[in-house]
Structure 1
Amino acid sequence: MFRLTDFNYHNRTVFLRVDLNSPVRNGRITDDARFRAVLPTLEYLLEHGARVVVGTHQGRPYGGDYNTTEEHARILSNLLGTEVEYVEDIFGRYARERIRLLKPGEVLMLENLRFSAEEVEYRSLEECEGTFFVRKLAPLIDYVVNDSFATSHRSQPSLVGFARLKPMIMGLLMEREINALTHAYDASEKPRVYVLGGSKVRDSLRVAENVLKNDRADLILTGGLVGQVFTLAKGFNLGDTNLEFLEKRGLLESVDRAERILDEFYPYVRTPVDFAIDYKGKRVEVDLLSDEKWLFDDHPILDIGSRTVEKYGEILRKAGVIVANGPMGVFEMREFAAGTVGVFRGIGESRAFSVVGGGHSVASIRENSITGIDHVSTGGGAMLSFFAGEKLPVLEALRISYERFKDKVEP
């Protein structure tokens, strides 16, 4: 794949695809972490005389929570110390005219790419190449730099559509992500421990199957809804309230799959030994082997318990490699953040090479000033797809573009 240093960008127009999709409260962005993550790539391009067109999105596909990128342009301007022009257009006449007028060292930001219906649907590379977005912008662009690892598991026009038309290059963030995740996946240091939590149960099950079957993991620790599904698969009763919640989320159907994983790899998948609930306004921990399990009938599980944190901590301290994705519980509630914070602190204190990803995981790490983690990934779903052994469309597009344009390198 092409690296950023493989080309000369002076007086060339670069389409820089990034993921600045950020938390929003009351219509305002509350966290600039993703902006800071792509700054090195953007600064490199501007320092080398590129004319930069930034494309990003805000809001999930079909989520109905879209916002314009006007504030994104303002935040990026403040971080860069130079103006980032907000263009209220994506590939129409106005956007194309503003791109043509760019000068070396200048940057503009297109409107939220997901305002275009073409950008919401998943398409093949060939279909993406034929979209209006790609056909209208390709004649104006010399290079495409992709620094959007967090969306690398999606196949959409702005992410893969230019691959056979223009040299498509890894940004510095993309390169760092790929190197860190590949190092963890291919690592020989043992024991290799995967911590799977959060609510993406089906994705986590695919990761568990892949890393265990292909001898990429020695032990898996579970928490969050993933931990509850595996606990049910072991035959424990988690009470009416929790069963109803899992059923509403469509997760009970995953119990059979978790049971099959346990049948094949039972000693290597660990589940919580205790859980925390809210009982009369207080955190109460219930051991799975105690007589207090009746509390699960009326009280939802909100965290793993302290005995589980202690047991997991002992394992993490001895690990050689750690891959973690997802919180251990409802960490947004202070009383029920103990499991997530305890596990992530254990990862930070470990001697292991560690990779942690997922939006909630990153938020917890930042909010609690947890240090010592080697790589904090900007991608949750993309990271899970990577460790599930699946082909990521953006990485495939980068490889295709390299094969097509490798004779064009001009460092």
Structure 2
Amino acid sequence: MFRLADFNFHGRTVFLRADLNSPIEKGRIISDARFRAVLPTVKHLLEDGAKLVIGTHQSKPYKGDYTTTEEHARILSELLGQEVEYVEDIFGRYAREKIKGLEPGEAIILENLRFAAEEIKYKPLEECERTFFVRKLAPLIDYVVNDAFAAAHRSQPSLVGFARLKPMAMGFLMEREIKALTRAYGTDERPRVYVLGGAKVEDSLRVAENVLRNGKADLILTGGLVGHVFTLAKGFYLGDSNIEFMERIGLLGLVDRAEKILDDFYPYVRTPVDFAIDYKGERLEIDLLSDEKRLFDEHPILDIGSRTVEKYGDILKGARVIVANGPMGVFEREEFALGTVGVFKAIGESSGFSVVGGGHSIASIYRYNITGISHISTGGGAMLSFFSGEKLPVLEALRVSYERFKDGA
């Protein structure tokens, strides 16, 4: 795959596909983490004299944080110390004129790419290539740089559509992500421990199936809703309130699949031995084997318990490789952050190589100032897809582009 160092961008028009999709509250972006992650690539291109066209998406149609990229332009301008002009268009005449008018070292950011209907659907590279978005912009672009690792598991026009038309290179963030994830997945160092939490249960089951079947993991620790599903699969009842909630969000149908994983790979999947609930306004920890578990009928589980944190911590501190995705509970409530913070602190204290990803995981790491983690991935879904053994469309597009243009690089 092409890297930034493979090209001289001076005076050339470069389309940089970034992923600046950020959390928004009351109409304002509340985290600039993804902006800072892509900043080295943006600076390199501008310092190299590129005419820079930045594209990103923000959320999905009809969601509360689906908005324009006007504030994205403001934040990026502040971080760079130079103007990144917001262009209220994507591939129409106004956008194309703005692209044509760029001077070396100048940058613009296009409107939210998902305002274009073509960008919503997942289509094969060949179909993405034929979209209006690609056909309108390709004649104006010399190079494409893809630094949107968090969207690498998606096949959409802005992400893969230029691959056979223009040389496409990895940005610094993309290169760093691929290097870290490849090291964690391909290493022979042992023990290799995966921590699967959060709410992306089906994705986590795919990861568990793949890494256990292919000998990439020695142990899997579970928490969050992933832990709930595996606990049910082991035959423990988690109470009426928790069962009803899991049924409502469609998780009960995954219990049989989790049971199959346990049948095939027992005892390599560990589940919590105790949980925490909100009982009369306070955190109450309940052992899974105690009579107090009757309280699960009326009180939802909000975290793993202290004994589980201790057991997981002992395992993690001795691990040589750790891959973690998703929190252990509702960490947004401080009294129920104990599990997530305890597990992530243990990962940070381990001398092994660690990769942690997922939006909620990252949020908890920054919120509670957890240090020592080797690599914090910007992509939750993309990271899970990678460790599931799936081919990521953006990485495949980068390979296609390399094969097409390598002789002229």
Specify the TM-score bucket, using the shorter chain as the normaliser.
over 0.9
Question: Corresponding residue for 2:195?
Answer: 195
2:384 match = 384
Corresponding letter in the other structure for 1:188? D
Match of 1:128 in 2: 128
Q: Report deviation, 1:60.
A: 3.0
**CA distance, structure 2, for counterparts of residue 207 and residue 72 of structure 1:** 33
Say whether 1:229 aligns with 2:229. yes
1:65 Cα deviation (Å)?
A: 3.5
Shift of 1:187: 1.0
1:275 maps to what in 2? 275
Q: Deviations over 1:30-72 (max 9, x none)?
A: 0000000000000000111100000001113664631100000
Q: Secondary structure at the match of 2:266?
A: helix
Partner of 2:163: 163
My pick for the range that moved more, 226-235 or 62-71, is 62-71
Distance 1:319 1:375 in 2: 15
Per-residue CA deviations over 1:262-319 (Å, capped at 9, x if unaligned) read 0011110000000000000000001001010100000000000000000000000100
Root-mean-square deviation (CA, aligned residues, Å) is 0.7
Instruction: Please tell me whether residue 207 in structure 1 is matched to residue 219 in structure 2.
Output: no
Q: Give the drift of 1:134.
A: 0.2
Matches within 5 A, 1:2-401: 2-60=2-60, 63=63, 65-401=65-401
> Contact conserved, 2:86 with 2:109, CA < 8 A, in 1?
yes
What are the Cα deviations for residues 107-145 of structure 1, in whole angstroms up to 9, with x where unaligned? 000000000110011111111000000000000000000
**Which letter does structure 2 place at the counterpart of 1:57?**
H
SS of equivalent to 1:267: coil
Give the distance between the partners of 1:130 and 1:65, measured in 2 at CA.
29
Q: Is the contact made by 1:240 and 1:296 (CA closer than 8 Å) also made in structure 2?
A: yes
Deviation, structure 1 residue 226:
0.1
Partner amino acid for 1:399? R
Instruction: Please say if residues 241 and 298 of structure 2, whose CA atoms lie closer than 8 Å, have aligned partners that are also in contact.
Output: yes
The superposition leaves residues 328-379 of structure 1 with CA deviations (integer Å, 9 ceiling, x where unpaired) of 0000011100000000000000011000000000000001110000000000
Please give the TM-score of this superposition, normalised by the length of structure 1: 0.99
| Structure 1 CA distance for aligned equivalents of residues 61 and 147 of structure 2 | 19
Q: Aligned equivalents of 1:90 and 1:366: distance in 2?
A: 33
8 A Cα contact 2:123 2:156, kept in partner: yes
CA deviations 1:221-271 (Å, max 9, x no partner) are 000000000000000000000000000110000000000000011110000
Contact map agreement 2:357 2:383 (CA 8 A) in 1: yes
**Letter of the structure 2 residue corresponding to residue 371 of structure 1:** T
Q: C-alpha distance in 2, partners of 1:145/1:219?
A: 37
Q: Mind listing any 5+ residue stretches in structure 1 that lack a counterpart?
A: none
Q: Is the 8 A contact 1:331 1:364 kept in 2?
A: yes
TM-score (structure 2 length as normaliser) = 0.99
Percent sequence identity is 78
- Please give the secondary structure, in 2, of the residue aligned with 1:328: coil
Distance 1:353 1:161 in 2: 35
Give distance in 1, aligned partners of 2:109 and 2:361. 29
SS in 1 for 2:71: helix
How big is the shift at 1:407?
A: 1.2
Name the CA shift for 1:350/1:61 in 2 (closer, same or farther; >3 Å): farther
SS of residue matched to 2:267: helix
Aligned partners of 2:27 and 2:65 also within 8 Å: no
Q: 1:351 to 1:2 in 2, by over 3 A?
A: same
* Amino acid paired to 1:35: F
**Are 1:62 and 1:120, in contact at CA under 8 Å, matched by a contact in 2?**
no
Q: How many residues align?
A: 409
Distance 1:77 1:394 in 2: 27
SS in 2 for 1:85: strand
For 1:303, give the aligned amino acid: D
CA contact (8 A) 2:23 2:65 kept: no
Instruction: Give 5+ residue unaligned stretches, structure 2.
Output: none
Whole-Å Cα distance in 2 between the matches of residues 5 and 204 of structure 1?
Answer: 36
Residue pair 2:16, 2:145 contacting (<8 A) in 1 also: yes
